[in-house]
Structure 1
């Protein structure tokens, strides 16, 4: 069993508990009482072929399977506020509990504090219920990992997200997965340079995969962002956006770090 398989097995177990506690009908009732989803696609540059700035998706992330404990983050909303002040185009909130110590309560608190910035519910989506659940808790984006879904599921989940007014970050790791993401019409395609079987990071895989993604889709570099040099490298190789968590949560000045990343990215984009 790969790390991804193991994580999803746990996600499915926890999902059954939540399904027993909150029905789909209850989620739908809640959705009817909250504001509609924000336009995350526009925020990330979809439709803007003359992209000149690097978008930053800043992540609220306490721990990871590869690094263990990263930061306690007692107040996710306060951290997210710093992200928003720093110019993050979207904020990612990990809600997976077993490996990442996240929760839907984290998503709720960030949504309440940051009403105007799109939120990504970062979890291992493996059931349509989770998409309804994400919207009911204020998310504007969901994560769809190609390696974890069949073509039919990928198409179904993407369609449901759009039906609910949401966007999707479609994550890929190989050329075959990029082809599947493009075929389903993904507008935001992430290239994760972390091997989900070994958890090793290889930044060298980004450039060749990014070149396979059409200009009409936003390309997001995922994993491996340590510093300005990494950001510049990704942007020079075709990234329109970066998804970064660890490099922000371990530093005491995330707002300033986002500014540094955006400046470095813009310079690299203008030079490519």
Structure 2
């Protein structure tokens, strides 16, 4: 099964499946772009060997659909749009931006998650269902791609990689671990998931391409 364009890249021998996130702002760390063009970050991720790109369009992260469109036009890598989606109209906007995937947060959508996922498929978009706890798993039972968020979105300072190790064995399909991955040693989570998503630590690196490559090529 090929989900969100990652499987072939995951199978590439000697490479770790790393999704690079372009994040303009962090509620905790502040300005992450530091005057840089997002496409400069994109190029660094591509050159370093990322298997996919994530971009946060949420206004609280200083994101925008226009930047998402630029990213989608400029890369051949699969692009995941991340936002706090609560309205179906956002699915159409994601399709118009030509992103391959859209994040659906189970803690927000709850029982509406499967309905939103079906609508994503109708628009040619891969729904990526985000889970945080056992309570979320019921809404992700049929999801083909699941993102385990190690961070509590309602308490951003609460980050624990053990959430991945706890939830991953209970999830079928393609699994991604995100948040709290800040150094190559954290890639130990790849023992239980197919890919990792890294944002803030990449955005803060002095030499983005070199730092990202250290994750992609790290020996586990």
TM-score, normalised on structure 2?
0.90
Higher helix residue share: 1
8 Å CA contact retained: 1:65, 1:100: yes
Higher strand residue share: 2
Q: Show structure 2 runs of 5+ residues with no match.
A: none
Within the candidate set 41, 58, 67, 2:29 is matched to 67
Note if 1:135 corresponds to 2:95.
yes
Q: Equivalent residue for 1:189?
A: 146
Within the candidate set 189, 192, 202, 1:234 is matched to 189
Partner of 1:150: helix, strand, or coil? helix
Aligned partners of 1:65, 1:136: CA distance in 2, in Å?
Answer: 28
Q: Equivalent residue for 1:108?
A: 69
Q: Equivalent residue for 1:20?
A: none
Q: Show structure 1 runs of 5+ residues with no match.
A: 1-38
8 Å CA contact retained: 1:54, 1:240: no
Shift of 1:73: 4.8
Aligned partners of 1:72, 1:106: CA distance in 2, in Å?
Answer: 16
Shift of 1:176: 2.0
Q: Runs of 4 or more off by more than 4 Å in structure 1?
A: 50-53
TM-score, normalised on structure 1?
0.74
Q: How many residues align?
A: 217
Aligned partners of 1:186, 1:54: CA distance in 2, in Å?
Answer: 23
Aligned partners of 2:73, 2:154: CA distance in 1, in Å?
Answer: 36
Give the 3 Å change call, closer, same or farther, for CA 138–73 of structure 1 in structure 2.
farther
Structural RMSD (CA): 2.1
Aligned partners of 2:100, 2:74: CA distance in 1, in Å?
Answer: 15
8 Å CA contact retained: 1:60, 1:91: yes
Aligned partners of 1:160, 1:54: CA distance in 2, in Å?
Answer: 31
Q: Equivalent residue for 2:47?
A: 85
Deviations 1:69-106 (A, max 9, x none): 23335311121122112221111111111x20111121
Give the 3 Å change call, closer, same or farther, for CA 118–40 of structure 1 in structure 2.
farther
Name the larger-Rg structure: 1
